[in-house]
Every structure is written in C-alpha cells, then in structure tokens.
Amino acid sequence: STPLIIEEKIVGSVRLNSNKPNMFLPDDLRLLDIISNLASVSLENAFLYTRTKELAIRDSLTGVYVQKFFKDRLAEEVARSLRSDYPTSILLLDIDFFKAYNDKYGHAAGDIVLKKVAGVLVESVSDSGDIVARYGGEEFAVILANKSRSEAVEFAEIIRKKVEAEIFILRREETKVTISIGVATCSEDAKICQDLIKAADDALYKAKKLGRNCVATK
C-alpha cells in the first residue's frame, strides 16, 4: 500500500492485494510508489483545473457567479422559456446608500456588507436553475427559472425583508442595510436578454425613485 499525496496531504491510497502470502517483492513496492506518484500528479492537475474553472465563473469576494456567467445562463433560460412557453424572471438589486457604508466604516466594512447580502441571496435561492450573480459593484442579479412576475415579486419581497432584518456589525457598531429590487419577466416584459435586463434595470431605477427599500416592476 502507498499513499496518494497532494500538497502534503494524504487524499487516498493505492493497494495491491493477494490471496496468497509473500506474493509481492520490494520491486513491486517501488513500482507501486511510481504509480502512486503519477496518480497524485494527475489528481492534483484535475483539482487545479476544477479550481481554476470555478474562479473564472465565481466572484472572488462573495462567491456568487460573475456577470458573464449570469448573462450566458440568462440567454439559455430565455431561449428555453420561449421554446417551452414558461416564464423566466430576473431580479436586479442594489444595496441602498452603499457608498455611505464605505465612507463611514471603510472599504473592509463594505466588503462585509457585500458578502452578507450575497449570503442571504444564496440561502434564499433553492430551486434548480435559479442562480445568484454579482452584477456590478454593489449590484446583484438573480435568475428565477419558471417563475412568473407575481411569483418573482413575492420572492423579491421575501429577500428584501430578510436583508432588512439582518444586523450588520461594522466597526463594532450595529447597523441595518436595505436593498432596492427591480423585477422583469420573459416574455411579459421582453423576449431578448438585453431587453429583459434593461426592463429589470428600469424597474430598479423606479424602486429607487419610490424611496428605496422596495420592490418594483417596469
């Protein structure tokens, strides 16, 4: 038996077994060592490839998907939605007065806010096909597959209330954070990805004009 080692950690082992005693010689063990070393290198390369692939589609700060992945997935969902005649909704949400947190508590505190809001979104999204992405600096986007506009608005209200109820500790000071959310649905609001994103963005702008900390549709 010989271990499989990656980054000084044992991740498995390679074993030779025989029903008969004294079947293996020292040369067999040396060969087994060579095989396990080659296997370890192959496994490490596979792990590195997977990690690199994840980094390409995940935001390094929040762990949610990046904007490009969101747009690629949205194109797939919109095509599927039009082909199968079922709705796909998206949310665009913005952290209210985010710059004020950075100015008052520092950029490290702003990062805490972003990570915690992202965590609330990820915990709330559970259906297969639904994803959360970081769309911009303090903006997030959510794809809600097979959800109508009314269902998407209801979901948006749930996460808005969840964020509002969270307590954020910034520089040892308790504070609250709110979000504004714009909702758009294919094909009710648009049948093209760019137009759907524009409709959600218009709805988000509307939510901000209504006083923030609310959900709006186009």
Residues forming the active site: 138
Q: Are strands 88-95 and 179-186 parallel, antiparallel or unpaired?
A: antiparallel
Closest CA to 112 of 98, 91, 126, 97: 98
* CA torsion through residues 192, 196, 197, 198, sign: positive
Residue 88 to residues 7, 207, 217, Cα–Cα distance (Å):
44, 21, 14
The amino acid present at 40, given as its one-letter code, is S
Peptide bond into 187 cis (omega under 30): yes
Q: How far is CA 35 from the centre of its chain?
A: 38
Tokens, residue 73: 């997935």
